[in-house]
């Protein structure tokens, strides 16, 4: 694809996204996600990593804002969305490139997602009961780390 066709493609994608948003009743809260989706479409068509980073972050943040607006809450959906947006940079980069540009997005993504989960589990929201079960996750991960050498392929 030619480089000069990219602005036209971005405008078309934004227009389609805004029309769909109008039909679904999503207002200004969907603007960030729409712009992020345009960046992601541009990344898929050009494979320029510089488009994937704002695309993943803005799409995740925007979806978190939309969910926050729809179901309410105390900011947990926004934190979760932003965390998943960072993680999507790693996943989409690996899928589209068959290699990764690094695992750096997993650090802020994991931290933001964990903080969002903790925030959601500390309130009477949709993850309220999960706050009691986080020690079980520590036990499972610790057990995996201890057994990992034994679970590997058998040695000849």
- Can you give the residue ranges of every domain in the chain? 3-129
What was the pLDDT predicted at 83?
Answer: 94
pLDDT, position 103: 83
Q: pLDDT tens digit string along 109-119?
A: 999 998 988 88
- The per-residue pLDDT for range 92-109, each reduced to its tens digit, is 888 877 556 788 998 999
CB neighbour class for 10 (10 Å; exposed up to 12, middle 13-18, buried from 19):
middle
**pTM for the model:** 0.69
**Count of beta carbons in the 10 Å neighbourhood of residue 126:** 13
When mean pLDDT is compared across 2-16, 82-96, 127-141, the lowest value belongs to 127-141
Under a CB-based contact definition with an 8 Å cutoff, are residues 58 and 33 in contact?
Answer: yes
141 — pLDDT class (breaks 50, 70, 90) = confident
CA-CA-CA-CA torsion sign (92, 120, 73, 128): positive
> What's the mean pLDDT in 19-41?
84
What rounded mean pLDDT belongs to the chain? 80
**Structure-block tokens of residue 142:** 């610790």
Instruction: For residue 81, give every residue at least 6 positions away whose Cβ sits within 8 Å of its Cβ, in sequence order, or none.
Output: 60, 61, 62, 63, 64, 65, 67, 116
């Amino acid at each position: 694809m030619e480089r000069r066709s990219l602005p036209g493609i971005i405008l078309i994608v934004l227009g389609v996204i805004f029309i769909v948003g109008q039909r679904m009743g999503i207002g200004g809260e969907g603007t960030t996600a729409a712009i992020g989706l345009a960046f992601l479409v541009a990344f898929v068509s050009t494979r320029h990593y510089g488009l994937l980073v704002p695309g993943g972050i803005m799409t995740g943040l925007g979806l978190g804002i939309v969910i926050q607006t729809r179901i309410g809450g105390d900011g947990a959906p926004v934190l979760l969305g932003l965390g998943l947006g960072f993680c999507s940079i790693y996943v989409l980069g690996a899928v589209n490139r068959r290699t990764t540009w690094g695992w750096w997005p997993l650090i802020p993504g994991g931290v933001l997602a964990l903080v969002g989960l903790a925030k959601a589990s500390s309130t009477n929201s949709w993850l309220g009961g999960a706050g009691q079960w986080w020690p079980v996750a520590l036990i499972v991960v610790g057990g995996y780390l201890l057994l990992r050498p034994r679970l590997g392929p058998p040695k000849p």
